[in-house]
Each structure stands twice: as C-alpha cells, then as structure tokens.
Structure 1
Amino acid sequence: MGNAGHGKISALAGIQFDLTKNGKGRETGAVTPASDWTPPACWYAPKYDAEGAAREFLGYDRSPNHTGMEDAEAIRNRYIKGHPYTNFNLAKQGKGYWWTAFYDDSRLTDPGADDCTDPPFWVDTGAPPPPVKNAVTPEILAQLAYAQIRIPQGKASFNPSGTQIVNVPTWVWMDRTTFHPVSVRAFVPVLGIEATTTATPVGLHIDPGTQDATLSPPSGDCPMDAHGNVGTPYVTGDDGNNPPCGVTYLRSTQNRGPYRLKATVTWKITWTGTGQPTPVALPDGTFGAPQDAYVREQQTVNR
C-alpha cells in the first residue's frame, strides 16, 4: 500500500484517504514507528454490493482462487447454494455489502499478511461485521492512515556546519518552518466512518556516533519549545557558551574515519474519528538519517 499522492483524495481497497494536510513534495518520507508496532498488513473492508459481487464471481470457473477459496464447487456452495449465502445475496441488493480482504502490497511477506484468510462475507447495512481480525473500524482506519503519513525530511542545522573541532561545542537546532504537524484522514463513505491521524514533532534526539563526546542536554533529548523550535540557532559570539541543544566531540576523527552523527526527530502520533472526539495516542514515530561528522584538533601557533 503506497502513498497514492499528495494534496488530493485517493481511494485504496475500499478506503479513501484525504492527503491534503499530508507532507508534500520530494523532501518527505514515511514515519517509522519507534516501537515494534506496525500498521496492519491486511484488513477487511466493503468492496461489492450484491449485484457487483455476482458480476465479479460469475467468472469463478475461470479464476476460482481470487475469492480465497480452493475450488469452484466450494464457491458455488458458499455463494449460490445457500451454505450460507443464496444467489450472491441478490435479494439483499441495496441492504449491505460484501467485505473482502485487502493487503498492503509492500508487506505481502510480513507475518501480519496471514491475518486475513477469510473468504468474502456479507454484512447488512448498519450491522457490525463478524469478529474477524482487522475488520475496518475507525481505529483500523487510524492505523492505516498512519502508514500514509509523510513527514518532512529536512535536516537539523549545525554550527559549525562542516568539520567539527575537538572540545568546541556544536550547536544543533531546527525550526517550525521545516518541522510542522501533518495529518491524513481515512474514511469509508458507504459505512460513514472516518479517522484522522496526526503527526506532531515534539523533539530531537542526538546520537553523536561515539562515546568520545558530551551532549547538551546530557540525555541528548532536545525538547520543542512553545513556538515549535528545537534548540537555539548559533550567533556570533556564542563560541564560549554551552548550547541548549548540541554535542561536543572529545577526540579527532583523524586516522579513524568519521563518526556517524544522527539527529532523530520524534513525532507524537494521535488520532480522532467517528465515536472518538478526544485524541488517542498511537506509537510515536521517528525520522533521522545518519551523517558523517569529521572532527579535527584545533590548530594553535606557538611563539
């Protein structure tokens, strides 16, 4: 299940996504859950009304496996002969939908893709679906919207911006013009349910790539202020001050190769939706790409 586009409404597997408040442009990427949790790799959602299913499944002799059943006779028994459905439920046309399993195409080999093995089933209008795992609900919509979120990939700013100097603090900061909340709304028009998942940047974590460094603050966790900024931009004259967000390298990288410095932005993920007006937390997301940090000794002149 890839991102279907930015700045528009897209449909995917019985679900539509409003992407108008999502990240836009080339400089965006998928948020990575900070835990082992992942959005569903498969789910059930309405796909056909009774007539649509009849038109689709009447080709079962040519392609029986697309229903998830092994042979044409089993399909006849299940959908035509009354075990449990009769004539594709045509008598209920306009009174419900056939639900089918859908899959995230990028995760077909994930163990979670094995959670949706039931063949298509009928749900009357207004009735809850059978108790199958990942039948679409506002909460499932929120989790699927999580997978569609695209966040800014802008990098934090550094000073010095090039080669660092041993025992000289490196100032690190980012501002709200690059890192700002984004959201995706997922909805199923025929069911009248929806959910909006929002990612909000809340801080930056610095990993210097070596134990030969000190961090400011010592945890390396730089919170976001009330204005949406992290850290403080360096200004001339700050050389002797300790930055509110930064790193100080204690050893040169000469003859050892660069350190792998990583500044990771943490995103708080929440959702609201049908029956859930108060934001509910989903696992935090992160984004951060390592970059090479070269550190040199400060050159001095002896007189």
Structure 2
Amino acid sequence: MRRKPLVAAGALAMAATLLLSGPVSARTGHGGTTNGDATGPTKDGGDGSLTATAGGISYDESKNGSGPKSGIIAPTGGDYSPPPCWYGPAYTPAQFKKEREAVWSVDSTGSQWDLEQRKRYVDGEPYKNFNLDKAGKGYWWTEFPNETYPPGWDKCKEPTFWVDENEPPPADIPAIDPEILAKLAYARIRVPGTKVKLAPEGATKVNLPTWAWLDGAEFKPVSVTARVDVLNIEATTTAEPISLKIDPGTSDAETYPANGVCDLVGDKIGTPYAKGKSKETPPCGVKYLRSSGDGTYPLKATVTWKIHWTGTGVNGEKRLPDGEFGAEQDVVVEEVQSINR
C-alpha cells in the first residue's frame, strides 16, 4: 500500500539542499544540469554523487549547433514533451542515509512524518538501515518534475523506493526510459541561426530577382544524446534541416518558389548566386515590387527541421514532431534609377 508523505517532495528537496550537496541539490532542468565535478558511486556505499546529473541523466551536446545566433527549435505540432514528472535513480544507500538524516536533523518536516520515514527506511517496514547492506547492488529511486512545471508535475507521489541493479522499476509508474530521454534531448537541441545570404548584397532593387541561400557548412544534422549510465540506457535525438521558408516582410513581393518554401536539395538549401546567372530565375529567393523607401523590409527566414531518435532497445528510428527556427533580417529595396535623355 502506498503511503504519501506529509510534505511535498519539493520541500524535502529544498531542506536537503540547505544541508548537503549531491543528487537532490543538483536537480535543475528536465533532469539536472551537467556537473563535471561529480563522481560515480562506490561499491561500499560511499558518498560520491550517483552520476553527473540528478536522476542519473547526463548529456552529450558535442554535436549540437553552435554560434551566437543559435537557438531552440519550436515544435510545429504534436507532443514532444517529457511527462509532467517521472522517477529515476537518485541515491546510493549511503547518499540516501545522509540526505534523509540531514532533513530529520533540522526538524522541519514534523515528528509524525519523520517517524513514518524512520519506520519505512530504517526499521524494516519495508526497508532496513537504508539498505546499506545492498551498497553497489541497486539504487534508491525518487520523483523528478519537468522543469516547466506543467499541470501534473506534482502527481508523482510515490515515496522514495529501492530498485535492485538489473531489475525493472514498478510497472505502474512513469520510470525514466529511452523515449523520455529522447524528449529530454530534444529540449536541448540547438540549431544555427537562419540569416540567409542574399545576392545582391546590401541593397536589392525593385523587380530584381534576389537569390537566397543558407551556408551549407552550417546547415547539417545536429544531435544530442541523453543517457543514464547506471541503467545502461540512452537515446540520441537528431534534427535534420529539410526546408527554408522565405517571408519577404511585405505583401508587395513575390517569392521563388511561389509558396516561399525552398526544399533541401542534396546538402544545400537554396543555390548560391554565381556570376553569369543574373538573367536566371533563382530556385530560392524573392522579388520585391515596391521600394522600402527610407526604411527596410523585415525578411524572415525559417528553417524546418525533421526530428527523429534512436535508443536502447528500440528498433529503427522513431519520429518526434518537426521543429522550426527562424529569424528576421532587414532588407533595403531601392528604386531602379533611370537616366532621361
């Protein structure tokens, strides 16, 4: 039978944070942020941190997009978010003993709750002495809220429980798994900025087809891997550019192609302008029909990224909702000057 604590898990974590470092105090973000100083647990139940991040989750962002204009993908539809809360490994026996005794020592949770906790984790109902005799043979699991705190983030009320190494957690709880890891990785993907190259540069002319393209060296697949080493599970989420949408910033313009969407061809989005192509129609671009006068037009370039993931025990690639990332840039459009004779 499940017994609910008399205080919220967040309050317990806060009390522990004031007293010690370790997995609970490291809880930030969806599953914690990387803490390079953390060390792995010891077989004798030593007090080294469980893994590099709270919940046992660590991230490899070395294949992510970079640069000053890089940003977060906005999903275009569907649900990519992790659940409101989930459970994951959080403590070795020695770490949990230290955390719980620190909370009890400040007398902030009430004597009745402390008594129930001691019965549960110390006195053998159902655990004895924090399972110190099982050091190196499993981990204490607890709840982790989604950092965005969506509705339901506080619904994980199962008291901290023990899971033996290589054994599954209870089937009726939202336990950390490759799919959740894939969604956590999605939230950490960064893609390069979308400022397009234009020809002519600087200023274009009314009724002059203007070529647009993206730097092929920057626009390539990016990925983030999330893993839980103690469970030997991981997932890699990859974003691949598939198209560029041009919004001229005014209705007095035409786009190439007419719908303004330039598809990825090979490894390129749009074609760089080259000498001798001035009379050709650009495969990707815009033609302004009216001068911008003393101002500019806010051309917006938005790239759509296909999102897919692979993970431990998963056959083939799985899809997540596509995402978009865009930015505006100012375009000067001048009247064509004619000479009267």
TM-score bin (small chain) = 0.7 to 0.9
Correspondences of 1:100-111 after superposition (within 5 Å): 100-103=142-145, 105=147, 107=148, 109-111=149-151
User: What letter corresponds to residue 53 of structure 2 in structure 1?
Assistant: L
CA change 1:210–1:117 in 2 (3 A) is: farther
Change (3 A) 1:21 1:61: same
In 1: Cα distance, 2:164 partner to 2:331 partner: 60
Evaluate the alpha carbon distance shift between residue 133 and residue 202 of structure 1 in structure 2; reply closer, same or farther with a 3 A threshold: farther
Q: Does 1:57 align with 2:100?
A: yes
More strand by share: 1
Given the alignment, which residue of 141, 161, 166 partners 1:126?
Answer: 166
Counterpart of 2:53 in structure 1 is 12
CA separation in 2, counterparts of 1:45 and 1:293? 50
The worse-fitting range, judged by mean Cα deviation, of 41-50 and 202-211 is 41-50
Matches within 5 A, 1:130-141: 130-131=170-171, 134-141=174-181
**Deviation per CA, 1:45-93, whole angstroms, max 9, x where unpaired?**
2111223212221122245779xxx943443344335555444334544
Among 43, 50, 65, the alignment partner of 1:23 is: 65
- Please give the alpha-carbon distance, in whole angstroms, between the structure 1 residues aligned to 2:264 and 2:103: 57
What's the offset of the Cα at 1:264? 0.9
Alignment partners' CA distance in 1, 2:278 and 2:108: 69
- Partner amino acid, structure 2, of 1:146: Y
Relative to 1, partners in 2 of residues 1:212 and 1:74: Cα closer, same or farther, differing over 3 Å?
Answer: farther
CA drift at 1:197: 1.2
**Helix, strand or coil at the partner of 1:254:** coil
Tell me which of 245, 270, 285 is aligned to 2:323: 285
RMSD of the alignment, in Å? 2.9
Deviations 1:110-138 (A, max 9, x none): 43644544442222323322346642101
AA partner of residue 232 (structure 1):
T
2:34–2:58: 8 Å Cα contact kept in structure 1? no
Cα separation, partners in 2 of 1:115 and 1:270, compared to 1, 3 Å: farther
Counterpart residue number, 1:229: 268
**Residue 258 of structure 2 is aligned to residue 218 of structure 1:** yes
Maintained 8 Å contact 2:241/2:303: yes
Question: Are residues 31 and 242 of structure 1, via their aligned partners in 2, closer, same or farther at CA, if it must alter by over 3 Å?
Answer: same
Structure 1 unaligned residues grouped into runs of 5+: none
State the TM-score, normalized to the length of structure 2: 0.75
Structure 1 residue matching 2:231: 3-state secondary structure: coil
Listed as ranges, the matches of 1:245-256 within 5 Å are 245-254=284-293
Cα deviation per residue 1:180-212 (whole Å; 9 max; x = unaligned)? 112122111111111111111112111122222
Cα distance in structure 2, aligned partners of 1:28 and 1:192: 31
How do 1:142-161 and structure 2 match up within 5 A?
Answer: 142-153=182-193, 155-161=195-201
CA distance in structure 1 between the aligned counterparts of 2:204 and 2:153, rounded to whole angstroms: 47
Task: Report the CA distance between 1:142 and its aligned residue.
Answer: 1.0
- Is this contact kept in 1: 2:214–2:269, CA < 8 A? yes
